[in-house]
Amino acid sequence: MSSVAPKILVTRRMPEAVNKKLKSHFTVSLNETDKLFTSSELRKALEEADGILCSVTEKFSRTILDLSKRKTQIISNFGVGLDHIDLNFAKSSNIVVTNTPDVLTDATADLTILLILSSTRKAYSWEKKLRSGLWSGFSPVEDLGVSLRGKTLGVIGMGRIGKAVARRAHQGFGMKVVYFNRSYIGSIDFPARPAQSIGHVIREADVISIHLPGDKSNHGLINKEKISLMRAHAHLINTSRGEVIDQEALVDALSSGRIAGAGLDVFQNEPHVPQSLTSLKNVTLLPHIGSATQEARDAMGFLAVDNLIAHFGQKQYPSRVV
């Protein structure tokens, strides 16, 4: 890097260890209030900063990026998903885009297992009953959940996180695994059977876990037709992107009892979650916290900073996308 440290603007409040690393390499503008940037503030940032460290909450559309006085050379994303950045325009405009894969795999996989257990054991319904003072004591037959042992987990998207979830489900709970992935994934170190299509997975599985990237080609992929293929006792889990599922169709299936339950960490139009979802007792809802461990968030931040260091130091990027 040059003797004059590049200016990096950080759009969200970051872990203190990440801030410390940033400050040791760059001139840094932090967002200590954690207030979301407006469109005009993002445009101004692009005109003033050499690089931006952002998160999924900032939408870098073509309208935002297409600036005659843009100074920013690199957008280092804190997270894996990049559907909030117009990658095609970034590429055509020579804007480098990086992300933070691998380091959040275990945290997200662990949370997926939490949602699977919560949905199949009706944890939210029971906790609500307890907190509301409606629990009358032990019952041998009331509102029973189901065991995972011997059941089939269907994984849609057998990437890093999908594999980690499937491995936990098989090794920890004795579940059988069937999966669909668009491309060949190579060898797997546990028993898992590929399916010909998403529909085949959905028809067969007792629990379906979604691990698809949030790009536009996947928006609404799990639609009313596919949800209708689910078994009546099946549960749908999503820790990928909310837009992947037709949320209205899922609400209809849950509210009608067409399917047994769901566990969701992501939603359409976050942070808005419709009352039609929050009012249901057969769904566990979490506020996009798949990677929300101290260890994962520190590692994500360090990797985002390493990408910035590589860019301005003219070194190989740890995880460049564009």
C-alpha separations of 314 from 81, 224, 282, 309, 311 in Å: 25, 48, 52, 8, 5
Q: Active-site residue 204, yes or no? A: no
Which of helix, strand or coil describes residue 250?
helix
Bridge partners of 180, per DSSP, are 156
Q: Active-site residue 231, yes or no? A: no
Q: Active-site residue 241, yes or no? A: yes
- In sequence order, what are the residues at sequence separation of 6 or more whose Cβ sits closer than 8 angstroms to the Cβ of residue 292? 107, 111
C-alpha separations of 14 from 256, 258, 296, 305 in Å: 42, 42, 12, 11
Residues 61-81 as b or e (16 or more Cβ within 10 Å = b): eeebbeeeebebbbbbbbbbb
Unique residue bearing structure tokens 């309208």: 63
Encoding tokens for residue 10? 């950080």
Active-site annotation holder among 48, 204, 248, 270: 270
Active-site annotation holder among 13, 84, 288, 320: 288
- Antiparallel, parallel or unpaired: β 261-264 and 283-285: parallel
Bridge partners of 245, per DSSP, are 222
The beta-strand segments (E) located in 55-165 are 74-77, 96-98, 152-156
Active-site annotation holder among 168, 211, 235, 241: 241
Phi-psi map region of 61: left, alpha, beta (phi>0 left; psi -120 to 50 alpha)? beta
Residues with catalytic annotation? Answer: 241, 270, 288
